[in-house]
């Protein structure tokens, strides 16, 4: 099955973006994901496509929504520090209430406009998401468009959608299946939007509790692939009325967790317990990486320990200054980012590489299962393809990143593409 849009200016021009959370490019194959493999082969694909840093879902959502890296949009991690009255508190960005906390402390949510804001006056955005509330709501944190999520669904202006209008699905594969069914019934045939986003929780959700390459992972890939096929078939069935750009991709991949470390405990054991206790130092785990924040004199104290930290077996690389800024991540109180070490070990299913998980603020480590967040080879390579006659086929011909998705979609829709870190893939 290959999608062939018809060139016809009289049809409603729109875009549909499907994100398969946590589906690394190396898992796209005829065997595991035949639909995705055919899409990449038959349409324009990003052959050298990269995640943002940290390679976590909430940051990815904000970067996809804005076309900017986290240093510009301001959402620094799945957990991030906010400084109030000189004191650091590390917050879980996934909580539904985090946007309100961010507004209270910083005066706003994201620092740059989302696609939802840019499209608000020309047809709008609608998003169906089955990942964490934070990752869903940061697609459109200030409610310019519509977002449906199991923790709460909202129309423009934040009007609650209740009853049948709410997305009451389970946070698992069955929830992805039901969400896709509703997306195909309620969104694809309708002309009430310019951009629709379908963000599936899998295979990411499965991988956080199962090994890479395990039967559960392979099953999640197969189900996810069929859901993408279902959306494409529905789009094809309505192409007499719509001129649809389909973008299909993922946000990051996964790597295997082999060991774990608590960086706060390490800093406390190296003399910085008082600074950690009174909020002058904060550690925000991003899974296989961590952000180390400090204020005042504690900053120099942390910097003084970095040479010793670099010799620890869990410290793959520690980024500071220009090297950190080059990843696209900057923040006033951010001192360093730790990308954890990778070991040359292979799991029971033949998948190479194990990583250290940073425990700070995370749940109990699930050793042997998947995770992400750092700069490892598998977690930083999502996939991406644009499907429309104007885009042709073949590789994009340049390195691309999540920040290139918004400008590509907006240019297709005839909207201004300005003040973004990303650039449109040429059609
Ligand atoms: Zn994700």
Nearest to 1 by CA among 44, 47, 43, 45: 43
CA of 19 to the centre of ligand 1 (A): 9
CA of 89 to the centre of ligand 1 (A): 24
pLDDT band (50, 70, 90) for residue 29: very high
CA of 22 to the centre of ligand 1 (A): 5
- Are 44 and 248 in contact, with CB atoms under 8 Å apart? no
CA of 80 to the centre of ligand 1 (A): 16
CA of 298 to the centre of ligand 1 (A): 32
The pLDDT of residue 8 is above 70: no
State percent of the chain over pLDDT 90: 95
Instruction: Give the model's pLDDT for residue 363.
Output: 86
CA of 251 to the centre of ligand 1 (A): 5
- Between CA 360 and CA 286 the distance in angstroms is 9
pLDDT band (50, 70, 90) for residue 5: very low
Q: Which residues contact 192 (CB under 8 A, 6 or more apart)?
A: 123, 124, 126
The pLDDT of residue 2 is above 60: no
- Are 216 and 353 in contact, with CB atoms under 8 Å apart? no
Average of per-residue pLDDT across 139-150: 98
pLDDT per residue as tens digits for the range 319-372:
999 999 999 999 999 999 999 999 999 999 999 999 999 999 988 999 999 999
Specify the 3-state DSSP secondary structure of 195.
strand
CA of 240 to the centre of ligand 1 (A): 34
pLDDT per residue as tens digits for the range 175-196:
999 999 999 999 999 999 999 9
pLDDT band (50, 70, 90) for residue 298: very high
The CATH class that applies to domain 12-75+110-254+379-412 reads alpha beta
Average of per-residue pLDDT across 368-381: 98
Contacts by residues 158-162 (CB-CB < 8 Å, ≥ 24 positions apart)? none
């Amino acid at each position: 099955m290959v999608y062939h849009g018809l060139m016809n200016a009289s049809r409603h021009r729109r875009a549909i973006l499907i994100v398969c959370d946590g589906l690394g490019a190396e898992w796209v194959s005829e065997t595991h994901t035949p639909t995705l493999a055919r899409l990449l082969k038959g349409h324009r694909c990003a052959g050298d496509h990269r995640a943002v840093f940290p390679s976590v879902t909430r940051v990815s959502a904000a970067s996809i929504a804005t076309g900017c890296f986290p240093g510009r949009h301001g959402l620094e991690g799945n957990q991030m520090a906010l400084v109030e009255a000189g004191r650091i508190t590390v917050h879980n960005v996934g909580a539904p209430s985090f946007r309100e906390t961010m507004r209270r402390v910083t005066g706003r949510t994201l620092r740059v406009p989302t696609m939802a804001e840019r499209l608000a006056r020309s047809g709008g955005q609608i998003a169906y998401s089955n990942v964490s509330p934070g990752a869903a709501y940061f697609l459109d944190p200030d409610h310019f468009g519509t977002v449906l999520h199991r923790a709460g669904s909202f129309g423009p202006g934040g009007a609650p959608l209740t009853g049948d209008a709410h997305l009451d699905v389970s946070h698992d594969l069955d929830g992805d299946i039901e969400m896709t069914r509703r997306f195909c019934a309620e969104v694809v045939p309708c002309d009430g939007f310019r951009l629709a986003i379908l963000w599936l929780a899998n295979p990411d959700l499965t991988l956080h509790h199962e090994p890479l390459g395990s039967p559960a992972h392979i099953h999640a890939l197969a189900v996810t692939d069929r859901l993408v096929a279902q959306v494409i078939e529905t789009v094809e069935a309505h192409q007499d009325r719509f001129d649809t750009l389909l973008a299909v991709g993922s946000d990051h991949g996964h790597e295997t967790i082999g060991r774990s470390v608590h960086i706060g405990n390490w800093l406390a054991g190296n003399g910085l317990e008082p600074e950690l206790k009174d909020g002058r130092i904060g550690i925000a785990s991003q899974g296989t990486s961590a952000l180390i924040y400090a204020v005042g004199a504690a900053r120099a104290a942390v910097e003084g320990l970095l040479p010793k930290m670099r010799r620890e077996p869990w410290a793959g690389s520690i980024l500071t200054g220009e090297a950190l800024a080059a990843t696209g991540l900057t923040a006033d109180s951010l001192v360093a980012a730790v990308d954890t070490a990778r070991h040359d070990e292979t799991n029971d299913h033949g998948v190479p590489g194990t990583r250290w998980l940073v425990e700070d603020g995370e749940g109990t480590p699930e050793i042997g299962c998947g995770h992400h967040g750092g700069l490892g080879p598998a977690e930083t390579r999502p996939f991406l393809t644009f499907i429309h006659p104007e885009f042709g086929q073949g590789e994009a011909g340049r390195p691309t990143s999540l920040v290139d998705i918004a400008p590509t979609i907006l240019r297709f829709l005839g909207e201004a593409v300005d003040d973004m870190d990303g650039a449109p893939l040429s059609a």
